[in-house]
A and B are shown apart, each in its own frame.
Chain A
Amino acid sequence: MAIGLEHFLILSAVLFAIGLYGVLAKRNVVVILMSIEIMLSAVNIAMVAFSRYGQFITGQVFVIFIMVVAAAEAAVGLALIIAIYRRRKTVDADKFDLMKW
């Protein structure tokens, strides 16, 4: 059975679902950020698959921009986590309730 577009899309969906579960269920903020990275990578796989099977190079250009945004997001997110950890001595998402009312 030849590998087709569907295989890559289903792999992408599986990885995205795993990341979604991690974001919703985990309490450690670093693990939540790691799950977000998994979700972004899953989207990248779908983009590259469409780019390859639709024969448009634009999909790969978009993947480059997604990588740029993912790197910026990881840098700022981890800086935020470290800043909050210094003040609150925790990385538990359930305890970050300063902006809740």
Chain B
Amino acid sequence: MGLQIAFWILAVVSVVAALAVVSLRNIFRAALFLILCFFAIAGIYVTMGADFLAGAQVLIYVGAIGVLIIFAIMLTREGREGSPSGRLRVPALLIALIFLITMVLVVTGTDWGAVTEGSSGPTTSAIAEAIFGEDSGFVLAFEIAAALILAAIIGAIVLVRDK
């Protein structure tokens, strides 16, 4: 019962915060609402029993990406223009609504079979086993991800470096 109440509160908070991100004119406030949205999503991971991912969500999204976006807003302050909508506002709204209706119809119309809730123990060791396992692991993908992060860091430094 407690988890259900938590889910509904977190779902409403995350959707309202996401709507605020795309509708507020003040970019800085939009960034703060984005961080609130990430926090609510971390809470949703907790309601799904994904404890490791909730921690990673707070560290990476709330911490790193949130600060990065606020930095970018501070460095690209332009006049008082804020975040206006472009000419494609109405078609974009239409496309988003069509997508949403399609997805809701598909999700509610699909017979998901006998889906049962998994056990809600700690997931960290299970994830580690899945990534670094001997036979069916993701070790190569993990190493490629490390190389990707390194390339992204070097690329970002090269891009913003003063000539």
Contact = CB atoms under 8 A, between A and B. Distances in A.
Interface of A: 2-11, 13-22, 24-28, 30-31, 33-35, 37-38, 41, 44-45, 48-49, 51-55, 57-58, 60-61, 63-65, 67-76, 78-83, 85, 89-94
A-B complex: 3 closest residue pairs judged by Cβ atoms: A24-B92, A72-B152, A13-B103
Contacts of A21: 22, 92-93, 95-96
Contacts of A93: 86
Nearest to A49: B48
Instruction: Classify the secondary structure of A's interface with B.
Output: helix
A13 B93 CA distance: 15
Interface residues of B, number: 83
B160 A34 contact: no
Given A20-B99, A80-B159, A85-B76, A6 B50 contact: no
Nearest to B126: A57
A15 B15 contact: yes
Contacts of B52: 60
Nearest to B155: A76
